[in-house]
Structure 1
Amino acid sequence: MTPLLQDKVAVVTGGAQGIGEAIARTFIDHGARVVIGDRDGAAAAATAAALGEGRAIGVACDVTDGEQVSSLIARAVEAFGALDVMVNNAGITRDATMRKMSEEQFDQVIDVHLRGSWLGTKHAAEAMRDGGRPGAIINMSSISGKVGFFGQTNYSAAKAGVVGLSKAAAKELARHGIRVNAIQPGLIATDMTRAMPEDIWETKLAEIPMGRAGSVDEIASVALFLASNLSSYMTGTVQEVTGGRLM
Structure 2
Amino acid sequence: MFSLAGTPVLVTGGSKGIGKGIAKVFADAGADVALAARSAGALSATVAELSATSSGRVIGVQADVVDPESCRAMVAEVVDTFGGLRVVCANAGIFPEAALADMTATQLDEMFDVNVKGTVYTVQAGIPALARSGAGRVVVTSSITGPLTGFPGWTHYGASKAAQLGFMRSAAIELAPQRITVNAILPGNILTEGLAAMGQDYLDGMARIIPAGALGRPEDVGHLAAFLATREAGYITGQAIAVDGGQVLPESPDAVSPMAPATSAV
In the alignment, which residue of structure 2 is the partner of 1:82? Answer: 84
In the alignment, which residue of structure 2 is the partner of 1:18? Answer: 17
Q: Could you tell me how far apart the structure 2 residues matched to 1:27 and 1:97 are?
A: 37
Alignment of 1:83-162 (within 5 A): 83-129=85-131, 131-146=132-147, 147-162=149-164
Conservation of the 8 A alpha-carbon contact between 1:42 and 1:60: no
| Corresponding residue to 1:166 among 165, 168, 187 | 168
The 3 A distance-change label for structure 1 pair 3 and 49 is farther
Q: CA deviation at 1:104?
A: 0.9
Q: CA deviation at 1:50?
A: 2.5
The letter for the 2-side match of 1:33 is D
**Counterpart secondary structure, 2:66:** coil
Unpaired segments ≥5 residues, structure 2? 250-266
Conservation of the 8 A alpha-carbon contact between 2:12 and 2:36: yes
In the alignment, which residue of structure 2 is the partner of 1:32? Answer: 31
The two structures have a TM-score, normalised by structure 1, of 0.94
**Which structure has the larger Rg?**
2
Q: Could you tell me how far apart the structure 1 residues matched to 2:201 and 2:22 are?
A: 30
**Counterpart secondary structure, 2:157:** helix
Bigger shift: residues 51-60 or 16-25: 51-60
RMSD: 1.6
**Counterpart secondary structure, 2:189:** coil
In the alignment, which residue of structure 1 is the partner of 2:72? Answer: 70
In the alignment, which residue of structure 1 is the partner of 2:262? Answer: none
Q: Runs of at least 4 residues of structure 1 off by over 6 A? A: none
The letter for the 1-side match of 2:153 is G
Superposed CA offset, 1:144-203 (max 9, x none): 022222111110010001111111100000110000000000011112112214443344
In the alignment, which residue of structure 2 is the partner of 1:9? Answer: 8
The letter for the 1-side match of 2:18 is I
Conservation of the 8 A alpha-carbon contact between 2:146 and 2:162: yes
In the alignment, which residue of structure 1 is the partner of 2:226? Answer: 224
Conservation of the 8 A alpha-carbon contact between 1:13 and 1:88: yes
The two structures have a TM-score, normalised by structure 2, of 0.87
The letter for the 1-side match of 2:15 is A
Q: CA deviation at 1:14?
A: 0.5
The letter for the 1-side match of 2:35 is I
Bigger shift: residues 151-160 or 191-200: 191-200
Q: Percent identity?
A: 38
Q: Could you tell me how far apart the structure 1 residues matched to 2:11 and 2:83 are?
A: 16
**Counterpart secondary structure, 1:145:** coil
Conservation of the 8 A alpha-carbon contact between 1:136 and 1:178: yes
**Counterpart secondary structure, 1:120:** helix
Conservation of the 8 A alpha-carbon contact between 1:46 and 1:58: no
In the alignment, which residue of structure 2 is the partner of 1:49? Answer: 48
Q: Could you tell me how far apart the structure 2 residues matched to 1:3 and 1:223 are?
A: 12
Structure 1 residue 196 and structure 2 residue 198: aligned? yes
Unpaired segments ≥5 residues, structure 1? none
